[in-house]
Amino acid sequence: MPAQIINGNLLSQQLRADVARRAAALTAKGRQPGLAVILVGENPASQVYVRNKVKACEDNGIHSVLEKYPADMSEADLLQRIAALNADPKIHGILVQLPLPAHIDSHKVIEAIAAEKDVDGFHISNAGLLMTGQPLFRPCTPYGVMKMLESIDYPVRGAHAVIVGASNIVGKPQAMLLLQAGATITICNSKTRDLGHHTRQADILVVATGKRNIVTADMIKPGAVVIDVGMNRDDNGKLCGDVDYGPASEVAGYITPVPGGVGPMTITMLLVNTLEAAERTL
Ligand code: GUN
């Protein structure tokens, strides 16, 4: 039996309706949620991502400001912009789109964002809170994945979750969220030997490497939940994930498509985090 598809667009629609309702309630109290998105440079994928983030804000009653800067912007100037946004009462969330140009220290930039406005959840204080089980902001992509598992009532407690990819944006925080939900965790990275040996143990397989077809059907346990975080282009320029989707969906129990899976959920959880940042200021 082919896998059931976890539809990120549909789930996003439901969650965004709740965001829009709560944003309107805050606006009525004179506290419209506000998000600032900063993009430095002309990375084409980043340009699409930030446009989608700003559009989703507009569609759901969240005030948004997009600040675009040239690739040669100095680190000092960027830090100055962040300081101004930290002090701006209309802005409840600040997102600096990654990757940044090589001459800018992204750790320094992330640490400059006020932790209570760090809607990405990347600040070390937010990473520490997440690791110690008291999250303030959950990073948007892993948070969206947890909502997808919830949407199918998946019994995460006691399940074996295998995460392919160990980034600060997805893999590591995903491990923390799944661990807190009671899963047993394996985190694989680019040096892992015999990747398939690990992925075949997975009840829940989260793939976040940015490498097309890194996971093929023979690497999936029959019936597993396969969550594809990848966003790549195939030889025809069509969007695709990290999982060889067609054959994989013949083996998996559940699978997320690309596009229309994790991508919209990441943006939805950014809206949720921004809304909650604004709610906390009341
Ligand atoms: N680049 C890729 N994913 C993300 C994300 O979730 N947040 C930011 N700020 N940059 C990214």
Residue 129 lies in a domain: no
CATH for 90: 3.40.50.10860
Please indicate whether residue 208, judged by its CB atom, sits closer than 6 Å to ligand 1.
Answer: no
Range of the domain at 190: 140-263
Same domain for 108 and 159: no
Mean pLDDT, rounded, for 199-204: 99
Taking the C-alpha atoms of residue 209 and residue 170, their distance in angstroms, rounded to an integer, is 9
Kindly state whether residues 246 and 158 are assigned to the same domain. Answer: yes
**Local confidence band at 72 (pLDDT 50, 70, 90 cut-offs):** very high
CA of 49 to the centre of ligand 1 (A): 8
* 219 and 256 assigned to the same domain: yes
Residue 262 in contact with ligand 1 by CB distance below 6 A = no
| Residue 97 beta carbon below 6 angstroms from any ligand 1 atom | yes
Q: What is the pTM of this model?
A: 0.98
Same structural domain, 91 and 206:
no
Domain tally, the chain = 2
Nearest ligand 1 atom to alpha carbon 266: 6
Domain co-membership, 147 together with 102: no
| Whether residue 160 is found in the same domain as residue 236 | yes
**Exposure of 14 by Cβ count < 10 A (0-12 exposed, 13-18 middle, 19+ buried)?**
exposed
Check if 53 is active-site.
yes
The answer to the question of residue 177 being in a domain is yes
Q: Is the CB–ligand 1 distance for residue 120 below 6 Å?
A: yes
Place of tokens 């040669």: 72
The share of the chain scoring above pLDDT 90, in percent, equals 100
Count of Cβ atoms closer than 10 Å to residue 183 Cβ = 23
Express each pLDDT in 239-279 by its tens digit. Answer: 999 999 999 999 999 999 999 999 999 999 999 999 999 99
Measure the CA–CA gap between 82 and 87, rounded to whole angstroms: 9
Instruction: Confirm whether 282 is domain-assigned.
Output: no
Mean pLDDT along residues 154-161: 98
CATH of the domain at 243: 3.40.50.720
Summarize pLDDT for 239-250 with one digit per residue, the tens: 999 999 999 999
Q: How many angstroms does the Cα of residue 169 sit away from the middle of ligand 1? A: 7
Residue 174 and residue 66 share a domain? no
Q: Is residue 197 part of a domain?
A: yes
The answer for residues whose C-beta is within 8 angstroms of residue 259's C-beta and 6 or more apart is 239
In the reported structure, the alpha carbon of residue 152 is separated from the centroid of ligand 1 by a whole-number distance in angstroms of 26
Domain assignment of residue 174, yes or no? yes
Residue 280 placed within a domain: no
> Do 151 and 221 belong to one domain?
yes
Q: Which amino acid is at 53?
A: K
1 pLDDT band (50/70/90 cuts)?
confident
- Helix then strand then coil, in percent of the chain rounded to 5, is 45, 15, 40
